[in-house]
Amino acid sequence: MINFPQIGKAAPNFLTVGVYKKRLGKIRLSDYRGKKYVILLFYPANFTPVPPTELIALSDRISDFRKLSTQILAISVDSPFSHLRNLLSHREEGGLENLNYPLVSDLTQTITSDYQLLSEEGLAFPGLFIIDKEGIIQYYNVNNLLCGRNVNELLRILECIQYVKENPGQACPANWNHDDQVLYSHPLKSKLYFKNLYSPKKS
């Protein structure tokens, strides 16, 4: 029986090699436990068309993720040396120079398999996981290989998750953004939100 990663369950741990600031080093997911949220971003392979657009967009917004105490780890089935070559390549060549977070190597495909994202071709589907400080999966999605992910939406989801964890009994409605009105998670108490939103306006 295959154990799929689930919301509310512990994220599969891993120990592997990553590349950051042109240096190779060990990366263990559990090292972030109790310290930071983690975004695991899987992408098919280095030097494929869509991933550089996503990885660079995330890197350019790194200050927003740091404000939310979040570490980004980008994972593919490439070797550490392929990652290093990618990080040494200029952006106008489709490379990832000056990336502000590590590229993680899953050359054995173990991590990708544990997260149920390994394709029949041996590449990673573009999946994304948000893991909280307790090491629990709070969100995941999987994109079409040719459809890039939205950084603004990822930040919105991350803020939403952090808000409801810090404010028990509250929930975030559709299209919620920071400082927008929230509602109660209790079915009866939530009626106040709907009453305020949908009641006929007096002229």
Q: Specify the pTM.
A: 0.92
Mean pLDDT of 62-89: 97
Mean pLDDT of 102-109: 97
The predicted pLDDT at position 190 comes to 78
Q: List pLDDT tens digits, range 146-180.
A: 999 999 999 999 999 999 999 999 999 999 998 88
What value does the mean pLDDT of the chain take? 93
Mean pLDDT of 89-100: 94
The predicted pLDDT at position 199 comes to 76
Mean pLDDT of 119-126: 93
138 has pLDDT over 70: yes
133 has pLDDT over 90: yes
Give, rounded to a whole angstrom, the gap between the first and last alpha carbons of the chain: 61
User: Which domains, from first to last, does the chain contain?
Assistant: 15-166 (3.40.30.10), 168-203 (no CATH)
Q: Catalogue the long-range contacts made by 79-85 (C-beta closer than 8 Å, 24 or more residues apart).
A: 79/105, 79/107, 80/17, 80/18, 80/19, 80/24, 80/105, 80/107, 82/46, 83/18, 83/19, 83/46, 84/19, 84/22, 84/24, 85/46
DSSP for 159-193, written as a single string = HHHHHHHHSTTEE--TT--TTS--EESSTTTTHHH
7 has pLDDT over 50: yes
1 has pLDDT over 70: no
